[in-house]
Structure formats: structure tokens, C-alpha cells
Structure 1
Amino acid sequence: MAIRLAGLVSGMDTDSIVKSLMDAHKLKYKKTTDKKELLTWKQEKWKDLNAKLYKLYQEDISKMRLQSSYLTKKVTSSNENLVTVTGSTSAPEGSHNLTIDQLASSQYVTGGVLGSSVTTSTKLKDLGMTSTSGNNSVITITNGDKSRELIVTDNTTLGDFLNACKETGLNASYDTAQKRIFISSKASGLDNKFSITTGEISSNASISLNTIKSYVNYSGLTATEQGKVYDAIQLLEGKSAAEIDDLYTKAENGTKSTDPAEQKAIDAVTTLRDLVIKKAEKDVKASSTQQVKEEIKNTLISSYGDPDAATLSTLESQVQAEIDAGRLPADTDVTGTAKEWHKKNQAVLDDIKAQVASKIDDGKLTVPEDKTREEYINETAQTSYDKLTQANKTTLFDNLVAKKLATEESQTKIQDTYDNNIESYKNGLLTGSEGLVAQMKIYAQNSTIINDSSANNLSKLKLGEIDGSAVTAATTDDMTVVEAADSKITLDGAELTGSSNVITANGLTITLKGKTQGETISLSVNKNTQEIYDMVKNFVKNYNAILKEMNTLYNAASTRGYDPLSDDERESMTDDQIEKWETKIKDSILRRDSTLGTVRDAMRSSLQTSVEVDGKKYSLASYGIQTSTIYTENGLLHIFGDKEDATYSDREDKLMKAIEEDPDTVMQVLSGISKNLYDTMAEKMSAIPNLRSALTFYNDKEMDKLQTQYKERMSKDEKKLKALEDKYYKQFSAMETAMAKLQKQQSALSGLLGNTN
């Protein structure tokens, strides 16, 4: 900030005068600041209200509109410790008998103890996993309709095996403390048993598989994407070269097949092809960018000559120091690197000079009167440059390259380079002699798995060949297998089974916790009128809360004459006074807001609709859900007969009576009216381009755009005020200069006339 010594000659308090003048001008621009502040408060109020409205929409109204929310019956069990039961409206009322014969269980495999030095990074070949014939071993993991084939190479690790298990949907981990492998299915029941077996696959298939994985950037894909790649590759197994060519042509042309199996194979090839194209585009984009980047570097340093002997010697010492510290390779060309550093450093110095010149042009720096522009630029730039280390200079050079790389000219050159190279590179990866199609053919013709249990490869992992129910190869150490099992119950004399411990039968959802072991459990099914009543009551309560807040905001008292406080006004008030002042404005910020009024009225109107059932129209009022006669409540709902409603508790409880006597009609009416409200709110918060985002009841995009406009206007206003303030100071400075000259002339004149002491 500039230091001003004003009023030294005139004795005037120039700062106070200028401040008073500027305060008058600032009042002119305060309106923009006020508008921005008010809009910020309005946005905050709407964000809070929007969250509450969306919660009502997503939770209470969404539940009320679903007929399934009304399809419940109350079920009691004579032994809640062994079984809990819920019922839908289709559940037969009365008593039922139940015994629990077997609980469902998941399949669990616990491996034996591995060596103390084993980790997930340990290679399987180091654990002794080999093939008897010299071909590549393959581990096949099957879980339901998902299957993975892990080809064991010299680099395959224990972690790769566990990940292959996970890709089929299994839980798989290696406990480093217990030194055991743990594998289990995520779901219980016989349908979810899994198998892990070993075999052989040719080295050609293994090589082609790894090549395909590299073409699709397998390591850079998500777990889900990796699973799709393996699914696609396995669909190619056993197909002929002609079939592969045909599938690729159809995938390339987007051909659809009426044969589901063929379409699945086409989709598999399409998946691989799309991933290869994606990687090709990424590779060419990166290489094109790097090519242009190198051109920029060469252009920047080509205009500079080699350093003089002294500079070269200094730079060579710095390069050698970097080599000694291990930050540069030992075989680095010391002299060549020193010369390159010199040229880069000169480019950095010239860039600093350009920045200094730009600041002078923008008025951020002023050239002293005793120096020329060129002298000042060179001295200032050199001072900044001398403070930099070589690492700083290298970074600044890289930044300079990045800045030039981002220019439109460079980006155009990158795009041109990309356009020239992409097709040939992409075609090479897809259909070249070593491309995707060729690799798919190799894999398809060499991927037949040969069983090789004689090598007992899984035993090297302290596992055995697992077929889903037992260990088929020799058991190793203390490996254990818990077989998958279905749950079994007897309900009213009928034996029922399920894949989990939750069985649904005859409208009952039965959750099993243990076996009855001879005990017979009694179940009692009755209408669950209270749960439905409480759901409606909870909706009314939450609806009233949000409607009451909307009414308060819309009908708030006027705050005409209350504007956001300026900095000077804040200084003259206490914190409590400031808070009260701003709270008063914020509470009325949505007064008579058209959007708020529209949403509120639409919600109220939706609940006034009726639903026709069997030729008769019903509304909320048909069940005693009505608004009060007190107009100031502005549409709040009451349930007549609700014991917690002091005003209407003595009225007939039509809602409970209807739920008990005609629950199906109640379900259709209340779900229908709730759906009207749900659809209305969905429409009110649907996205509108450049105006409103999705799931938003107010015009948030329009407000954000207006905020940006206010910020830009305030920035311009600040610049105008700064320019005006500088103008006033310059005028007073000129006055002081003139008065100083006048005093000097008066002193000189007095001396000539002999009037000095």
C-alpha cells in the first residue's frame, strides 16, 4: 500500500477530506453490495427450505404413495428369540404352527497355515505352484453364473488369486496374523455354493491373454470393468478363427443378432474393442501432447547460445552435486546438462522480464525517474532471478512450457498431430498382425483347460480341489470346508425351504434365528391397523411442519427501510444489535416470494383432489383429514378423532374406522392422493436449463448467475472508486506542490528585499 504524506505544506487533513469525499461516492455503489448480500441470504434460506421439502418428498410422501406401505398385518410369535414374522394383507388371519428344522448357511473355506514370510505379494511359483507338463497352470473359480480363470505365470501373486475370487463375487482375504486364506460366499443357500479347481492352459493362450489385457489397459480399469473383460475373454474360448472374424465384423458394424448366445459373444467383442479404442485414443493424445511439448522446449532453448566458461563451470559443479546426491543418474552428461540448464535459465530470466514489463504496463509498477524503462526491467528481473535456486528455475521453465502448451495454437497443433496418428495406431492395435483380433484367435484356439489335479497345485496354497460341497483332493494340514445349506421349516404341516434365513410364504415374511429342536412355535396374524394409522399421522405431522414454515416465510412482516449494514454502521453497533438487525431481514427474505407461493399452493391443491374407487369419489375429508375453520392456519391438516389433537380429539375417528372396516379402499384413496402430491412436487423441482437444477424447488442457477453479475459489477465499482481516490490525492498533491513552490518564491523574494532575520 502506498504511503502518502499529505498536508505538509497546507496544514490540511487531506486524508479526512478524501475519506469524506469517498464516503459520499461509496453510497452510490452500496446498492449493488446490498443486492448481493440479500441474494446470499435468500439462497441460504432456500437451501434450508429445499432440503426440508425434499426430505418430505423422499420419505413421507414416497412411502404414502406406495400401496405396499398399506399391505401389512401384525404377526406375533410365541418365541421371538427363534423367529420374527411380518405379514402383508394377503397373510391369512388366525393361528399358525411353525417348526425350524435347519438354518441356511454360506459356504466357508479356511485354508491351512502358510509360511511365516508369506504375504499377498508372494508369487505363487515361490509357493511351489507348477505344472506337470510344462504348460501354464490355471485356477478356475466358479460362483453361480460367474467364473474366472486365473492363469498362473511367473509373476502371479497370492493377491491376484484373492482378487480373482472377489471378481466372481466371493469374500476372499489372507489373514497375515493367522497366515491362512479365508474364502466364503456372500449369500447363503445351496444355489450359492462355489468351486475352486486347477488345470492347465497353453503358454500361447497365457501370452495372448496378457497381451489383450495390456491392450485394454486392464490394470487401469475398475474391478467391475475388469470383471467384464474376463467375462468377454472367456466367451471366446473354443471359437474358430472364422467365428472370431465374423464376431469382430458384427461388433464393428453394430450388428444385432436374434440368437441370444451369438449376441452375447458380439457384446463381448464389442466390450474389448471399445476398451482398446479408448486406450488408443488416450495413448495418442498423450504422445501428441508430449511431441508438441518437446517442440516447445526445443524452440524455447534453441535461441540461446552456450554459457561462458565461468558460468559453465558453476553449472557443471551444480550438476555433479545432484549426481552425488543421487537426484540425477550416475551416467548423466555433466557438460551437456549444464549447457541445457543455462539455456533454460535464460528463458526463465526473459520470462521474468516480460512479467515485469507487463506489471509496468498495468500500472502495478512505476519506473523511477532516475532510470529508463529498460534499465528498471533488467534490474528488477535480475534481482528476482538471483534469488532462485536451480530447482526453482527448472520448475519455472516447466511452468513456462506448460503455459505455452495451453495456448490455442499449441492445442491446435496437438489436435492435428492426434488426427494424423490416431487411425493408423488404432487399426494396428485392433486388426494389425499382433492386434486384438489376432490375439483373440490365439486365445480362443489354445484356451482349452486340461484337468491337472495330479499336481495338487491348490495344496501349495494349503487348500484342496473344492467342488462346492467337500474337499475332493487330499486334505492339507487343518483346512476346513463348511458346506452351503438351505433353510428348512415346517409351516402348518408343509415343509418349505429357502436359500436364506428369511423365507416368504403365504403372505408371511419369516426371519429365522435358531432351530426349534422339538418345540412348536405359534404364530398369530391380525390386522395391523395401528401401523397404517401412525404412518398417515406421521405424514400429516411432517406436512404441517413444513407448510407452517412456508406460511410464516411467505406472510412475514415487511422490513421496508431495513438494508444490509455497511462497515461504518457495523462499527457503531454492538454484536447483539447487528444480529437482531440482520435476523429481521433474513426472516422476511422470502416474503411474498412467487416461487414459494407457487410451491405451497400446488402442494395444498394436490391434497384437495379426490380419487374414484368403484364409482365413488373419496377425498381426505372422507376420512376426517381436514383443514381447520381457523383461516389463519392457512391449510394445516387435522385428523378428526386424533387423541393428541386437543381441538378435534372429540370428533369421530373416521380414519381408524375406515382402516379397520375397508382397508383396501383406504389404500387406494390415500396412495392415489399422495401420488398426486408426489408428482406435483416432482414437477416443481424438475430441471430447467439455465434456470433450475434437478431436485431443486427454486431457481438456483438463475441466482448463481445473478451472484456472478453482482461480483463483476462490484469489482468494476471498486476500480472506479480506487481511480477516483487516486485522482483526489493527485489533485491535493498538486496543490501541495504549488504551495511549496509559492513559499519558496516568497522566501527568495524576502531575501532579495532584505527582510530576512
Structure 2
Amino acid sequence: MRTYGLSGSGMDIDQMVKDIMKAQRVKYDNLYKTKTQLEWQKTDYNAIYKTLNQFRNTIFDSRMQSNLAMRKVTSNNTAVTATATAGAAKISHTIAVNQLAAGVQRASSAAITTGESKENLVKQLGIQPNAFTVKLKNGEASADIVVDPSASIYELVNSINKANIGVTASYDATIDRFFLATTQTGAQAGLDFSGNSSLGLDFLQNKLKINTGSSVTAAGISSSAAIEADGGVPIGNAFSGLTGSFQLSIKNASQGTEANIQIDLTTDTLNTIAQKISSATGVEAEAVYDPAERRFTIKAKIEGEVLDLSANTGLAAQFLTADLKLGDDVSGLGNISGEGVKSTAPIVEATDNIVLAELFEGLSGSFDLKLRNGENTETITIDTATDTLATLKAKIEGAAGINAQVSFDSTSGKLTIGVTDEGTLSFAGSSEAGLGFLTKNLRLVNTVQITKENQAESTSAMFADLGDREISGQFDDMSGGSFVIRVKNGAGEVEEIGVDTSVNTLDELLGMFNAKFGAGTAEYLDGKVTLKAPDNDTFDFSGSDPAAIDFLTNKLNLNIISQKGQDAEVTLDGASFAQSSNVFTVSGVTYTLNNTTEAGKSASIVVTPDNDKTVEAVKKIVDEYNKVLELLNSEVNEAKYRDYLPLTDEEKGALTDDQIKAWEEKAKSGLLRRDPILTDLIYKMRNSFTDNISGMTGEYRNASSIGISTYLGDVSEGGKLYLDEEELRKALSADSDIVYKLFSVDGDSSAQDGVLTRIYDQLKSATDKLVDKAGTTASALYDTKSYLGKQLDDMEDRMEAMSKRLSAMETRYYKQFDAMEVALNQLSQQSSWLLQQFSNG
């Protein structure tokens, strides 16, 4: 506690201490001013460093041949345009374009929407409700695109585009068309639809209305692999898994009406067949498939009327009797009354007895499920090729100590897993495929906290009703049927070849081709089928039934549903070759093919120097150089006002803002005056333009010889460059590459280097020195290596130490004056007492 003033001495102790300390603080203020000058200097150096670095990058780009020896190209034919790099020879070329490169594009032939809504593919296109796969190939790349009927057409587009096979898809809602196209051109690009089932082909051809066909020429096509079929047996027996269609006929004798119902083995289901029969016009028939009993019933709607159901082929009869189990003989279906005829036994396998690979689309292989309940752990292996829902249930419930319980409701299509007693069942630790099966196929959400009260149940039906599955997938013996092959020739004329696979043989089919189009059109030799169009004609099979396309491509192995791109075919300077793109580069010249040239004619491509662009490039270099030189000269020649030092806060308090600004402008001036790094750089850059380049001969050996010189008459310009454009153009006319030679040559020594090569190296040396001097940033916060950074760090330490000393000194002075005041007060009291004593005496 300070007690000065108690003595009544009248001394202003506080002011006395401040006056003493003011003299002491001059030393601290001098350190502050020195530190501030160093900070300003570091900032100036950093600004110069950034400018020189940017200029160095400009010099690097400028000395490239592409900027100093540019070429221009002219063409006398719009079919071909071209550009040339600086290295291109200055000569003329001839080029004939016989064929442009092309990719493959396919678009819907007509509007595709048949429904009233585009919410999903079922509502928009009327496809069957079960997911299926469409195969797309482009060269070596291929993808299986899953068509989800519940998804929209835009999601289908996205699936194709995400497949990353070089094929893009799009849908234009305005014109209601679907588009497919390869992203590249050339013979390696293509759209290949082979390998698709007839269901996939039906979707592409009849739903998206995409032409999947390709032309067969007189060169012909042959089976890509041996088909190993007996040409003398019915096609349906020679090839397994064959699909097609057949017809059922229903007559109503009472009304004298008849209806023919076409059944497609690939797209029709038990439910759609029932719908077709029930909606057949005029015959008043009713059909239903009961999924609980797994039986099919057909009956007359009107009591007393009689229906006659007949089959047009053996395959149709087989379907009615052996598959729908409507009787032992098709003749027994000629008297169907109101009571109807019903399957004598279940016609499809019980759901829980179908192997998992067939029950779930895309499921294959085997996987492990790990079951844990308390301390008990069991692992079971599920093989999708042999296990069913029934065996899955048995394996889970049979796991020792797990106490699991599984039930399946065939009506709802849902599966439930619980425990029979206390405890918690978890499938954690199962293989990735196993967990995927539980969540994606069984549609279980809870797989780790299954208790007696909190069971795991499918969130929805695990698979489509068996009545909604295509016939060919339900009945193994449905491998026949009939289809129509439609062949369109080059003139657009179409011939039809009808095939009944339960009757016609392969030899008969080939005979039909030869009868319609001439001997030798089709043959079967060494296990392979070959088809050839007549000379100067083509065959197009794109209008054939999907089942026919499936047979030709997947059974006969004929590649009739792929379209390939084409290479560009050119003759350049007499050499003929192919290119996959219409843009290609040869010897520094980039050709762009816009069209084919007339037969027997060529385009002339002339490559000449582009001196105008070279002159512009030199002008830019001179301008950029002069800007940098002006900055450097202004820094090294800037006046320095030694009497103007940085202001302290106390000094600023006595000045106005304008006075402070004017003062600091002078205080900051000349911080880099006569800086050795910058003056050395200015000197060397100037000499780079004036000195000869060692090794250069002839008239042009330095920059001044081509019109670039410094004006020495006025030293105040400090080496500014001037360009004599007339002299430069004269030099370019003599040698169009002279600028590149003088500016960019990279010799074994600086004397042999070109002008810009020298300056580039000089800038590197100068910026390295600036980094050593002041670092790369204006702030000293993280700069501990540069000279100024270290000085500022040291100055900071000295100022901190002095601040502590001044604070201690001030405290000491106040304590001393406090002690003096206390002593004076005591002396005053003693004097008063003595005076009082004398007065009383």
C-alpha cells in the first residue's frame, strides 16, 4: 500500500516516479521501433518474393516452344480442320477421309408409355411385377442391370449410367423415348445385347422399343461356339431351357363363341393366365390360381353353360395336363361346366421346399450364420443350391443351446424368428453374405436383440407370390413353344419364318431359310450354324419375337443383336490407316474429321509459322518484365528518411490520423533501399538481354539483334525494355524459330543459356536468398529459420525482459518514496511534540 502524501511535504510522488520511468522507457521504445522496422521490412521482402515467384512461373510458361514457335494451319476443305503444335514441320499434308469414326446409338422407335402413371415401370410400361436382369455389353465391359419393376424409369437410367461400361442411358419425357449410346467411338465400342433371356429381350424390344438387331451381310455370321445339337430332332428336345409361346382355345358351345389365348412362357404367370382366361371376350369363362392350395381352377361363369378347352400344340396340351394337372388327357377338357375342372394335386412346389437359390432372385453360393444366446454359440452353414426354408428352419432350431424358434407364413410370405425360453438370440458375427441374406432376402431388421417378446419378423413378403412367376421358371418341362423369325432385307422387305419347337427340327429351320432366300443362305456344319445374306444385301432380325432372338443368340450362338461402332478410315500423305476417334494427332498436327471427303479427292492441310502470335508472346514477355523491373527499381531507389521512426502508441496519441498516416509513409520508405539481393537481380536480368548467347552464330545472337533493347540514354528508366516490332518481324521472316532459339535454349553454362533460361535461373537464385533473408510469409509467428525471423524472435525476448526490468524498477521507486513519506511523517510528529513541550514549559 502506497502512503505518499501523508507527510504534508507537498511533493507529487506519482509524477516524480513517472518522470523517472519516462527516461528509462526510452530504451524500451527504441527496441519497439527497431522491431517494428524489421516487421515492415519483412513484409516488403515477402511482397517482393511473391511477385518474383509469379514472374518466374510466367517465364517458365513463356519459354515453352508452344508459346515462342507457334504454328497455324489452313485447310482447303471443311471436311477436315487441324491445329498444330510448335514442333510440327512447316509443310503441307494431304488427307482423304473415307469413313468417319462413330459409336453406337439406339433410341425408342416410338413412345413407350402405355400406362397412366410413370411412378414405376409396372405402371408406366406394364411389365411383370418380378425383378429380372438385362445384360449390356460394350467391348470387353459388361454389366447385369437389375430391372426393378417398383422403380421408376429414371432409376433404370441411373443404374445403367452407374454401371461404368461406357454406355449412357437417358429418357426424354417430352417425346417419351429411351436412349442408349456408347460414350466412345471406334470399332472397339458397341452395344451388345447377347446373353439376354427372352424376358430381357422382350423388355428391350417391346417395352423400351429399342432395336437390338444388327445386320447380317453376304459375309455371313457363324455360331461363336459349337452348339452340339442333333439337326434331325425337334428343336424343343435339342435345346434345354428354350422358351416361346403357344395358344389355348376356349369355346362356349351354348353361345357359339370362341376365344384364342396366347401364352408366352417367358412373361406369363399363373395369375396372368387366369386373368386372360377370365377376361376372354364372349366365352364367359373364369379361372383362378389358389396359392394356399397351389391349384388351378377353370369353370364356366354362367350356370348350365359348357366350355370346351383345347390346345393347339403338344406343348400346350402338356401344360394343361402335366403342369396344371387338370386331367390325364386333354380330351377330358371338352365338357367344363359351372362346377369347373380343378388341379388334381398341387401344381407347384410348396414355398418352403424350394431351394433358396430359386426362391430368391440372384442368390447363390453358401454362407455361414453365427447364432449366439448367452454363453452358447453355434455356427451353421447354408447352401443356397440345396437348402430350403424348411431346412433353414431345421438348422436354426437344431442349433444346440440356442433355443431358437422359426416359423413361416406362406400366406403373408413372412418369416419369424424368436426364442422358446429366456435369453437373447443374436446373429452378430455371421459372414457378410449371411447378414445380407437375413436383412435383404429374409427382410429382418432385428438380428441382434431377438427375445421371446421381441421377435424378428420380415418387414414385408420375402418374394413374389409363386402365381406371379413366369411359367418357364415354374415348370422344367416348358422348353418348347413357337415363335416367329422376321427377316428384313436391305430393301425393307420382311419375310416371316414360323417355328414350332415341339415339331420343327434344326434342319427344317435351315431349310426354310434356304427356301426363302436361296441355297447356301443357311447351313449346319461342324457343330456350327452359318447364316449369309445374298450378295449386296443384308439381313436384319430386329423385328423377330423375343423368343426367336433368344433362340438365335443364346441357343445357336449367332451374334445378331450387337452393334459395333466404326473406326475412321483415312489416307494421310499416302498412308492409309484407321483411328478410333475423329480427332487424332500425327507428327504434331491434330486433325479433326468433320465429314468424309469426295471420292478420289483429298484435303490439303498447310502448316506455316504463326509469326503474329509469336510477336504477341514477345510483347507480353516485355510487358511483364518491365512491370517487375519497375517494382524492383522503385524499392532499391526509394528515399529513406532516417529521422522518421515508427511511432509508439503514446506518440500517436498526440497526432491526428492524417498526421500519423503521413508520418508512417515516410517511416516505411526506403526499407529496401540499395538492397544487395534486388540490385544484383536487376543487374543480371538486364545483362541477360544484352549479352550474346555463346554458341549462336549468324546475325541474331542476342535479344537486341531481334529488336529488344534497353534505352541507355535515360538512366532513370533503370534498364526498361523496348520492342522494335519491325525488327522482330524481320528476324522472324528470316527464321521463324529465332525467338525460341534465343530465349529458350538450355546450354551447359549460363553463357550458353537463352535469355529466358538465364532469367528463370536468376529468379530462382534471388528468391532462395529472399527466403533465407525473410522467409516466405510476412508474419514471424512460424518463421524461425530466416535471418529477419530470428532477429524478430530475439527482439521479442529482449523487449519482454526489459519490460519486466522496468516494472520491477517502477515498483522499487514507489517503495522508496513510500518509505521516505513515512519517515517524513514521523519527523513531523516528533517536531510537533517538541514544540508543544516548549510551549508548555
Which TM-score applies when normalising by structure 1? 0.46
Higher relative helix content? 1
Bigger relative contact order, structure 1 or 2 (CA pairs below 8 A, ≥6 apart):
1
Higher relative strand content? 2
Q: Which structure has the greater CA radius of gyration?
A: 2
